[in-house]
Amino acid sequence: MPRHTAPRSIPTTSSSPTSRNRPRNHRSPFRLAAATAATAALALLLAACTTGPATNGSNGSNGSTATPVAGGTLVYATGDAEPTCLDPHVGGNYPQALVATQYLEELVSRDKSGTIIPWLATAWKESADGLSWDFTLKPGVTFTDGTPFDAAAVAANVAHLQNPATGSSTGYLALGKVTGVEVVDARTARFTLSAPDTTLLDSLSQPWLAMESPTALARSQADNCKSPVGTGPFIVKQWNKQQSITLVRNDNYNSPPADAAHTGPAYLDSIEWRFLPDSASRYAALQAGTVDVIDNVQPDTIIQAQKNPALTYLNAPRPGASNRIELNSSKAPFDDANVREAFIRSADVDDAVSSLFFGTAQRSYSPLSSAEPLAYSEPSDFTYDQAAAAKLLDAAGWTDRTPDGYREKNGQVLELTFPVSTNQSIPAEQSVFEQIQATAKQAGFKIDLQPMDLSSWYAALAADQYNLVDAPYTKVGPDVLRILYDSAGTVPAPSGYFANLSQLKNPSLDALLETAAATSDETQRASLYQQAQKLILDGFYILPLYDQQNGYLEQSVVHGLRAMPTVSTPTMYDAWVQR
Amino acid sequence: MISSPLLSEGAASRAELDRAPGRRRASARRRALPATVVIALIVLAFLLVAAIWPDLIAPGDPLAIHPRDAFQPPSAQHLFGTDESGRDIFTRVIHGTQASLLIGVTATAIGIGLGLVFGLLAGLGPRWVDFGTTRLLEVMFAFPGLLLALLFIVIYGPGVVTSTIAVGLSTAPGYARLIRSQTLQVRDAPYLEASRVLGRSSVYRLTRHLLPNVAGTLFVLATLGVGQSIVWASALSYLGLGAVPPSPEWGAMLSAGRTYITSFWWMTFFPGLFIVLSAGATTLLGRGLQQRKRAS
Amino acid sequence: MSGATGAGGGAMGSAGGPEETAAPLLDVRELTIRFGRSAPVVDGISFEIAPGECLGLVGESGSGKSVTSRALLGLVGAGSHVEAALMAFASPAEPRIRAGEDHHDRPEPAARPGGSASHAAELRVSASDTEDNPHETESGADRGRGSGSGGAGLAGDARPSTSGSAGSSGTSVLDLRGLGARAWRQVRGGQIGYVPQAALVGLDPLRAVGREIDDVLRLHSRLTPAERRAHVRELLATAGVPEPELRAVQRPFELSGGLRQRALIAAAIAGSPSLLIADEPTTALDATVQAGILTLLERLRDSGTAILLISHDLAVVSRLANRVAVLRNGRIVETGPTRQILDAPQHPYTRELVAAVPTSRPRGSLLAGSATPAQSSSPAPTPALMLPDRAATSGRSQPPTRATTRSSTTTRAPGSDREPGSSESAAPVPAATRSSMPGSGDLGGRNAMPGEGTEGGAGTGTGTGTSTTVLEATGLGKWFGARAAVDGVSFTLERGRTLGLVGESGSGKTTVARLVLALTEPDEGEVRLLGEPWSTLHERERRPLRPRIGAIYQDALSSFDPRLTVGQILSDAKSAGRSSRTDVADLLERVGLAASVAAQRPRFLSGGQQQRVAIARALAPRPDILICDEPVSSLDVSVQARILDLLDALQHDLGVAYLFITHDLGVARHMSDDLLVMRDGHVVESGPTEAVFAAPKEEYTRQLLAAAPRLGAYSPVPRSRLQ
Amino acid sequence: MTGDRASAEPGAPGSLRTAPHPFTPHPSWLSRNAPLLRWLALRLLGVVFVLWAVSTITFFAIRLIPGDPAQAILGGPGSQASADALAAARAEYGLDQPLVIQYLSFLGRLGVGDLGQSYALHQSVASVIADNLLSTLTLALAALVVAVVIALALAAWSTRSGRAAAAIGSTLEVVGAAVPHFWLAILAILLFSTTLGVLPPVSVPGPVGLVLPTLVLAIPLAGFLGQVMREGLLDSLSSPYALSARARGESESGVFWRHALKAAAIPAIGLTGWAFGSLISGAVVVETIFARAGLGRSLLAAVQGRDVPLVVGIVIVVALVYMIVTTVTDLAERIIDPRIGRRNKASGGRAGSTGGGRPGPASSGGRAGRSDSRGNPAPAAGRPEVTL
């Protein structure tokens, strides 16, 4: 049936049963006129449509058995912030990764089990000393601007990432140990490292280290931000700021990752990548059939959606760090471990999570995401205990009380600044913060929640104007710990962002992480990471909340949508729509 | 500027209309209050109580959270239901009255204050002052609606105070223009001339005749203005430029509840209802006063 | 079109059947109009109008004139009950211009059984009005909000019941009581033309004048637009509008009052109706303009259109009407041929009205009769006794010729309060002022020796009395842009005397007043007050002198601060608010108002009372000079009479000098010792009043005098009525 | 009304404006409309002046923003721009120049329509506005039309169908005027999208996407317009000229369409400027909620992101459009009611500002007959310049 968003409609499918699930033909005036009158009839239809395609809530990709239909446009509505630059090398945050997954590709990828699998690189080999890696590149791959994909291109990309002018943050940190790339031959690129890095492959599997056309990279950053050029299944056609990005199929695409469901070009003609920051509008749009897939789904809507046969939930928690509140230990009052513990004890997270997430999220007691095999939990550190909190604060000398019950220490109110990025946390999460604010108040903490947009938020962090912060950090593998808690992480990356927001400076921890990263023996590595995590948890530097919630609601007409096992970004390569 | 058009003395002839039938009708009108005004007064009285002694109506802490009974639909113990943190919405709305009304009133006060200064300056000052002021107002008017407010906010950053000032600021030109025309009208009124013929000093005429008569209309303007100020201020809060959650300001509550609109309508419905109530009541009252003023 | 009307007349003649007296065009019996449940505004009046006759309906505000006229148009308004034993209108079966919509209202008995059978078909008017409070004052009915839909809603189902089948005989008699909305629309404009009272606002300010006239043709004729355009020009010409084609495209605000009124008349006669209702057609127009309008109406009458002329002004009526019906409180107290009514009024009220007309009542004579104290809310101590002596003893030389008129008019009748519902004091104020109250005593005292006071009063007639100059204007000039509002005006005013200042609007009278009051600075010349410089002073220096010179205005109400009560206003005026309650009481008493009035707000007083309060305020600082700017122009004639008497008496007692500005020559003559005739800012003529009236030197003055309506310009009563 | 009286006062200067000498010879169109044209010319001058003032104010206003503009310019996500980067930025944006020079070059660039670069969008402000202006204007216009229709229908119905209707009508209007856009939007989405599912909750291309935003914008506006129109209608329907029209045999609907409507239109037209303002403000909310591209949404984003050049640019452009609108509406008013230009200034401010600050024609027309509480024509009307 005709889609308001489709550049062209597909008449053949206009009579498909699912198309009657929801009224979607917003074009026909008749539809509009008759609409109100036909409400009752509609209700019947909806009731009749309970026999939609069977849905399996967990891993999405419904009806993958059916034969894919080529063509059509898929409308994806993201609640993440609109990137200021479509090139994930620049800065490097999740919103960029989300969209970049559609048009950029990495050297390697991961499968569901977490093992590294080939992508643009067909094979790789670590040297004995672990200081150099040779990557064999897939042949016959060209960027969508015609530039061939070869070792030189790889070198160019690494150079681009490491060039301070690029202002890369995530990618830059991931390549911390890479000193450069030698072009051995057209199809072989050699990474040279300053020290052995067992996490290199994990790092290289991330969208922020995707391969872009050197020719494109040579352009001004402004241009490259508008239309980065990769080898992906789709091409950035147009970017209407604050509205949408139009992606069209790359017809001579030939480089799917090893775990893709099919080969050759993608099924979809195009993707409309809309920015709908308002979660309610987003869900309403999905219900009304205005869009096909949404991310950043509200817990309550997940529950609702599960009752709605027309919708399918694809749950894909992000790897790397758990979602946690960092306590800025670099300045008062959190330079005092007692105060940190007092805060953590006084925060009633469990109730908040259970009430706000309707059981869609599991409480976490670990710095790492449950998606990480090596995650270590220490629940005992996080039991909710106001009495203990009070005792600790008394011990710390915060004995006085302001009229409205906040604690004071020689005239200083026990006040905590908590900048909250409205773009990076769903409202439910902000409510969690509010509840923590409320419970911590009982202990005498005065928490200033400061909702702000992404850039102000970054600015606040860069200016060290925070005591508490919740900063999602997505990286493949436990090495994320090194980025988040290594003393080095307190030094800003070129973009100005520094990942170690708890500003934890502990040489022994640094050493642990260092050796862990260099150790290839699994068991030893595991124990090292475990010690490291224990150290972080016991130091009360962070308050883990839950895994980084990440999931996608899709119309049941969408098939074959899957989340990349790397950083759980959705890929539309295998996706097709049946209308 | 964002003052309401009803602030105008537009169609002032209704005055004559009501006056025409002469003393009998006018006095009758004096006695009987229109039903709408009565209703408005009742609502406002309620809101006033809510603003001054919220605990009389809704004892309890608007910020107290009870995560376990979050998202309760309206019921006996939770009249308006509860929000995502299990806070009783009724309590919050009632306690929010103070903030919201305060914002509305303050904004109006700021607007009228500024309006008074400029309006009187233009109305009473020498020609060139009038000219200058009028031009200035023209310029201010060129920032229609919230524009002035947003400009102000971008300069001084979001927050309750700034948003309040911003709203006040953007209503000021409207008031100024009205007060000016009012002043001019009263200034040319025969009774001022009569007073001059009696040999009264200009100061005397100003204080005994002009200002009191201008003040009359001013009150009406204020009542009409408060409602709109509340709406606009709440709009700013809704956009995250004013009060921030968890403060129980209506606009802020609305924007918080907005997320859950598809699942839990009551979180948005009731705060909005109160905005409409307060704005509507003040407007009705203002209209009533206008009619009465004209009737006399 | 006069031919057309002639034909119509003929038709009616034939309709009349054999008997000699022409069948009345309009026959109204026991018309009663009530609003809501209140007492009837019009109470069982009956009258009839013959074709080509003009009936004058005279009465003051609230007498129910306008409501009556509306009833004849089915436009009485919301919540009104109109009952009548008979409301028959002999309408020509065929309109003289072919009707646009199918005009043949099939003759049926009124749908409501009782409708025509019972002699009181009550027309309930469905109110589209938001409030339908009863209002008795004319202006109340005036509002007529939604009255049109009232018309539309008239006995909604009732079809016009016409006796005799249409077309068969020349005329069919329409029963106006039972008409349905459409039928009414046929009658309005098509058969009964209406010249509204509000001459100046009777035209839609947003539409070209021509369009308004065109509407009538569009509604009542089948003429093509082009024909209509031509016809509109004709009509305007007929109505005496110069340059019709230009005027037709202009909007009302571009036309002068006179032209607007003519345009309205043009619209009223466009449907060439057989009856024209003219409601106060000349109110608020200047004398010469008024004259013009009246002539026009006269022409229409003579060309066969019957006219129901409604006015509060006997003079106007006497000029036009063949017969006069005097309406009072909704009842017709007297009716008869004009001559008879004017020369030998039977009913006291009629006498009073006649007497009250100041026209050609010379200085010093009394206009208002006395009232029986019972009906006056304010204590009026034995007025009857005081008046005659005053009238008699005032040794003012009167031309003997006038003597008769005077005696005839000053015959007192037990008149009563003229303003229903108002507490307007009928007490002839001299009584109040004469009565030796402390207030009055000290007033008189401080002003001048009582002797001088009376002397000034007495001597004014001859002007021989030794009197000091209180006000002196020399060569006053004031320009607004290029136009001279006032140019070279000089005069002197002496204590206790009155200088009349007459002229039409725009002649600069008011500007002179403002100059004298030093509210505007003269561009030329000087005003001296009590021999001292005045206009040359700075306002600050002037202020101490201001109490010496006061003013009263036409619109007294707007000269009061709406917030203040009468008491506040007066004490305010007396001593900037520091005066006692008794002072106020004295002042009120002096102007013949009850002390109780002090508590009220002016807007709830009647116009006369308002003016009295204004006078009291003006007198409070005990001025030597009072500038009276059209003080009575917007008052009913009887009220006006009493105000004039009051001013007269006050002058006599206090020796105040008046600069009396008016457009009404009658009033001017009655009030002033000397006269100043102004035109376009220049003084055309000046001199002792009687002299000027007796032998006007200037042509313009003569025109003015000629234009001034006066009693006794009777119109011949048409034959048909005579036997 | 004092204004009117003053102007009708023969001596008063007002009178020269209020009533031309009736004996004007047949004038040409040009000479007849000379005052109008003069007014228009002056008005256009005024527009230029105001535009200049607006941009000047904004220019200096943003200088009040604490912090280094250069920092802001480089203020991508958490920029910690190096000193030389800042210097470079300063040089690029001429921030190292003295303020006067900056101001002049700002004006200069403004002259050629260059509004600078958006910090956040890395795009020229002009292009951002160009992309969004049309959609916002479309929305505003649609809303205005719908609002007028609703208001007129309501006023027409409620002024002519008895007391109950009048009460209902005016209450509806007041409530409508009191409803915040965002709340209305939420309810509308809930009803039409979530419950009925007939309209898209977020803007989609084509007219369908316009329906909800338009409605949401229109209803509060209709509330205001309705209240003002009702005044005009009532005044006109009860005016003496309506009476004389009826006395001419005009039907009620005739009176309504031929007389009342025009009279009611005047104050409404006067409101248009104000309405535009409120529509733009509403657009900020509505466009955000319905995720519709437009100036309002961009403006909000710019304000939230402190994207100064974009804010300034949008402010200036909106101001420009606003003044065009008011000029046009004023012109329309003056054509419908030529008295406006001539009426005493005291009786009202510029149209569009506060909505009919000046009494409508119906009122001034109706007033004269009524202002004397006793049915005698008021002196104002009673004593015009009469020359016959």
What ipTM was estimated for this complex? Answer: 0.74
C170: pLDDT confidence band, cut at 50, 70 and 90? low
Where is mean pLDDT largest: C54-58, C148-152, D60-64, D270-274? C54-58
pLDDT of residue A78: 92
Region A52-62: what's the mean pLDDT?
39
Task: Say which range, A391-395, D49-53, D238-242, has the weakest mean pLDDT.
Answer: D238-242
The residue type at A224: N
Write out chain C residues lying below 8 Å of B195, CB-based: 561, 572
CATH of domain A50-86+225-318+550-577: 3.40.190.10
Question: Which pair of structure tokens corresponds to residue D381?
Answer: 């009307």
Full domain range(s) for residue B123: 36-295
Region C171-200: what's the mean pLDDT?
79
pLDDT of residue D30: 66
Task: Say which range, C357-366, C511-520, C621-630, D254-263, has the weakest mean pLDDT.
Answer: C357-366
Region B272-277: what's the mean pLDDT?
92
Crossing angle of helices C287-302 and C699-707, in 10° steps, is 50
Q: Is A110 helix (H, G, I), strand (E, B) or coil?
A: strand
C199: pLDDT confidence band, cut at 50, 70 and 90? low
Where is mean pLDDT largest: A547-561, D252-266, D353-367? A547-561
Distance CA C678, CA C486 (A): 9
Contact status of C229 with chain B (Cβ, < 8 Å) = no
Let me know if chains C and A touch, i.e. at least 3 Cβ pairs under 8 angstroms: no
Task: For each of the domains in chain D, give its residue range(s) and CATH number, in order of start.
Answer: 125-337 (1.10.3720.10)
**Chain A residue with minimum CA distance to B264:** A300
pLDDT of residue A10: 35
pLDDT in tens, D68-80: 666 666 654 444 5
pLDDT of residue B23: 38
**Chain B residue with minimum CA distance to D53:** B139
Cβ separation A462–D193 shorter than 8 A: no
CA distance B32 to chain D (A): 16
pLDDT of residue C359: 61
Give the DSSP letter of residue B283. H
CB C678 within 8 A of CB C684: yes
Contact status of D17 with chain C (Cβ, < 8 Å) = no
Write out chain D residues lying below 8 Å of C75, CB-based: 243, 246-247
The closest of C453, C450, C464, C496 to C658, measured between CA atoms, is C496
pLDDT in tens, A418-459: 998 876 677 788 888 988 998 999 899 999 988 877 777 887
Residue D143 above 70 pLDDT?
Answer: yes
Q: In Å, what is the CA distance from A323 to each residue of A367, A471, A548, D235?
A: 8, 8, 5, 66
pLDDT of residue C344: 82
Percentage of residues of chain C with pLDDT beyond 90: 0
Crossing angle of helices D162-178 and B35-52, in 10° steps, is 30
Who wins on pLDDT, A46 or B283?
A: B283
Task: Say which range, B73-87, B178-192, C220-234, C426-440, has the weakest mean pLDDT.
Answer: C426-440
Who wins on pLDDT, C157 or D244?
A: D244
Crossing angle of helices B211-238 and B266-295, in 10° steps, is 170
The residue type at B112: I
- Which residue of B142, B154, B280 is in closest CB contact with D175? B280
Q: Is residue B14 in a domain? A: no
Task: Say which range, A392-406, B141-155, C107-121, C677-691, has the weakest mean pLDDT.
Answer: C107-121
**Chain D residue with minimum CA distance to C69:** D247
Region A316-336: what's the mean pLDDT?
89
Q: Is C327 helix (H, G, I), strand (E, B) or coil?
A: strand
Who wins on pLDDT, D260 or C719?
A: D260
Q: Is A149 helix (H, G, I), strand (E, B) or coil?
A: coil
CATH of domain A319-546: 3.10.105.10
Q: In Å, what is the CA distance from A126 to each residue of A134, A150, A200, C695?
A: 7, 19, 10, 134
pLDDT of residue C360: 55
Hey, which chains touch C, using 3+ CB pairs under 8 Å? Answer: B, D
Write out chain B residues lying below 8 Å of A438, CB-based: 63-65, 85, 246
Write out chain D residues lying below 8 Å of C663, CB-based: 383
pTM (global) more than 0.80:
no
Q: Where are the domains of chain A?
A: 50-86+225-318+550-577, 108-217, 319-546
C13: pLDDT confidence band, cut at 50, 70 and 90? very low
Q: Is residue B18 in a domain? A: no
Give the CATH number for residue B230: 1.10.3720.10
Who wins on pLDDT, C710 or D96?
A: D96
Region B107-136: what's the mean pLDDT?
88
Secondary structure element (H or E) that encloses residue B286, with its range: helix B266-295
In the stretch 370-389 of chain C, residues with CB closer than 8 A to chain B read none
Question: Which pair of structure tokens corresponds to residue A173?
Answer: 């940190």
Distance CA D257, CA D152 (A): 12
Over chain A, what is the mean pLDDT? 83
**Chain D residue with minimum CA distance to B4:** D354
Residue A343 above 90 pLDDT?
Answer: yes
pLDDT of residue C712: 57
Q: What are phi and psi of D51, to 5 degrees?
A: -55, -45
pLDDT in tens, C249-270: 888 888 877 888 888 888 888 8
CB C514 within 8 A of CB C507: no
Who wins on pLDDT, A65 or D48?
A: D48
- The residue of D47, D60, D173, D174 whose CB has the most chain B CBs within 10 angstroms, and thus the best one to mutate to test that interface, is D174
Task: Say which range, A172-186, C661-675, D78-92, D227-241, has the weakest mean pLDDT.
Answer: D78-92
Sheet hosting strand A178-185, strand order edge to edge: A121-126, A132-137, A188-193, A178-185
Residues 6+ apart with CB under 8 A from D339: C205, C251, C253, D18, D361, D364
CB A321 within 8 A of CB A484: yes
**Count of Cβ atoms closer than 10 Å to residue A545 Cβ:** 26
Contact status of A431 with chain B (Cβ, < 8 Å) = yes
Residue C529 above 50 pLDDT?
Answer: yes
**Count of Cβ atoms closer than 10 Å to residue D251 Cβ:** 21
Cβ separation D288–A459 shorter than 8 A: no
Residues 6+ apart with CB under 8 A from A319: A369, A371, A372, A474, A475, A476, A477, A566, A567, A568
CA distance B8 to chain D (A): 5
The residue type at A355: S
CA distance B65 to chain A (A): 7
Distance CA D319, CA D277 (A): 9
Q: In Å, what is the CA distance from B278 to each residue of B170, B282, C108, C525?
A: 20, 6, 58, 62
**Count of Cβ atoms closer than 10 Å to residue A4 Cβ:** 18
Cβ separation B20–C142 shorter than 8 A: yes
Percentage of residues of chain A with pLDDT beyond 70: 88
A133: pLDDT confidence band, cut at 50, 70 and 90? very high
CB A88 within 8 A of CB A171: yes
Residue D29 above 60 pLDDT?
Answer: yes
Contact status of C558 with chain B (Cβ, < 8 Å) = yes
CA distance D225 to chain A (A): 27
Contact status of C149 with chain D (Cβ, < 8 Å) = yes
pLDDT of residue A288: 84
CB A516 within 8 A of CB A195: no
Distance CA C566, CA C587 (A): 11
Who wins on pLDDT, D239 or B113?
A: B113
pLDDT in tens, C449-498: 333 333 333 333 333 445 588 888 888 888 887 777 888 888 888 888 88
Region D332-343: what's the mean pLDDT?
72
Distance CA D362, CA D343 (A): 14
Q: Is residue B287 in a domain? A: yes
**Diameter over CA atoms, chain A:** 76
Hey, which chains touch D, using 3+ CB pairs under 8 Å? Answer: A, B, C
pLDDT of residue C394: 38
Residue D87 above 60 pLDDT?
Answer: yes
Cβ separation C66–D5 shorter than 8 A: no
pLDDT of residue C421: 37
Who wins on pLDDT, C246 or B20?
A: C246
Cβ separation A451–B240 shorter than 8 A: yes
Who wins on pLDDT, C55 or D14?
A: C55
Q: Do strands C498-502 and C674-679 pair parallel, antiparallel, or not at all (unpaired)? A: parallel
Secondary structure element (H or E) that encloses residue C525, with its range: strand C524-529
Cβ separation D51–B155 shorter than 8 A: no
Region C652-681: what's the mean pLDDT?
86
Task: Say which range, C242-251, C297-306, C415-424, C679-688, has the weakest mean pLDDT.
Answer: C415-424
Question: Which pair of structure tokens corresponds to residue C450?
Answer: 């009582």
Residue D27 above 60 pLDDT?
Answer: no
pLDDT of residue A528: 92
Encode chain D in three state secondary structure. CHHHHHHHCCCCCHHHHHCCCCCCCCCCHHHHCHHHHHHHHHHHHHHHHHHHHHHHHHHHHHCCCCCCHHHHHCCCCCCCCCHHHHHHHHHHHCCCCCHHHHHHHHHHHHHCCCCCEECCCCEEHHHHHHHHHHHHHHHHHHHHHHHHHHHHHHHHHHHHCHHHHHHHHHHHHHHHHHCCHHHHHHHHHHHHHHHCCCCCCCCCCCCHHHHHHHHHHHHHHHHHHHHHHHHHHHHHHCCHHHHHHHHCCCCHHHHHHHHHHHHHHHHHHHHHHHHHHHHHHHHHHHHHHCCCCCHHHHHHHHHHCCCHHHHHHHHHHHHHHHHHHHHHHHHHHHHHCCHHHHCCHHHCCCCCCCCCCCCCHHHHHHHHHHCCCCCCCCHHHHCCCCCC
The residue written with tokens 């105070």 in the block is: B161
CA distance D108 to chain C (A): 43
Over chain B, what is the mean pLDDT? 81
pLDDT of residue C369: 54
pLDDT in tens, C86-134: 888 887 654 444 433 333 433 333 333 333 333 333 333 333 333 333 3
**Chain B residue with minimum CA distance to D4:** B185
CATH of domain A108-217: 3.90.76.10
Number of domains in chain B: 1
Q: Is A164 helix (H, G, I), strand (E, B) or coil?
A: helix
Over chain C, what is the mean pLDDT? 70
Hey, which chains touch B, using 3+ CB pairs under 8 Å? Answer: A, C, D
Partnered with residue C275 across adjacent β-strands are: C192, C306
Write out chain A residues lying below 8 Å of D121, CB-based: 84, 241-242
The closest of C446, C518, C531 to B198, measured between CA atoms, is C518
Contact status of A448 with chain B (Cβ, < 8 Å) = no
Question: Which pair of structure tokens corresponds to residue C617?
Answer: 């305020």
Distance CA C627, CA C660 (A): 6
HSE at residue C89, side-chain half, CA atoms within 13 A, is 30
The residue written with tokens 């003649």 in the block is: C13
D136: pLDDT confidence band, cut at 50, 70 and 90? very high
